[in-house]
Amino acid sequence: MAQSIFERYGGFARVSKVVSAFYDKASQSALLAPYFENIDMRRLIDHQTKFVAFLMGGPASFSNEELERVHSRLNINDREFAEMVELFKETLEDFDFEASDIAAIQSELLTRKRYIVTRSGT
Ligand code: HEM
């Protein structure tokens, strides 16, 4: 059976480096930074690592209901979601992920948009 994206790129050790680079970018984004100011970054990075691992076919999982529950009170709009997806794509490029793998991961993120975005407008 084909290896998952998660396995091909070095498992949790590598994924946690990707996630941490991604959060450096997010915290420097004027659009996204305000959301992360009062959050325990260590905890968030831990959770995001599991989620990203899941997107790549690794062992951890988050249900759509959980994603909806944690983001519902955050009032995230389309533009903020798009910025997050774009910064994540840039991060994967920085880590030399193949274009086809980036596309696969991105489409996994996009299918979850409705669980994250709760505010209309841009
Ligand atoms: C691209 C799609 C996204 C995915 C896959 C995602 C995934 C996650 C996950 C797995 C958690 C951790 C849940 C937990 O603590 O158990 C989380 C928390 C969080 N996310 Fe997202 N997220 C996304 C988009 C966004 C966006 C666009 C923002 C802000 C603009 C955002 C802001 C946050 C914040 C602030 C928390 C922490 C909530 C808290 O601990 O109270 N997320 N997200």
Instruction: Write the CA distances from 95 to 7, 43, 90, 91, integer angstroms.
Output: 15, 23, 9, 6
Residues of the chain below pLDDT 70: 1, 121-122
Which residues' Cβ are closer than 6 Å to ligand 1?
A: 32, 35-36, 39, 44, 47-48, 51, 62, 67, 70-71, 74, 76, 80-81, 84-85, 109, 112, 116
Residues 6+ apart with CB under 8 A from 111: none
Residue 32 C-beta-side C-alpha neighbours within 13 Å: 19
Closest CA to 71 of 122, 25, 32, 29: 32
**How does pLDDT run across 2-28, given as a tens digit for each residue?**
789 999 999 988 988 998 899 899 989
Instruction: Write the CA distances from 39 to 4, 19, 25, 74, integer angstroms.
Output: 31, 15, 16, 12
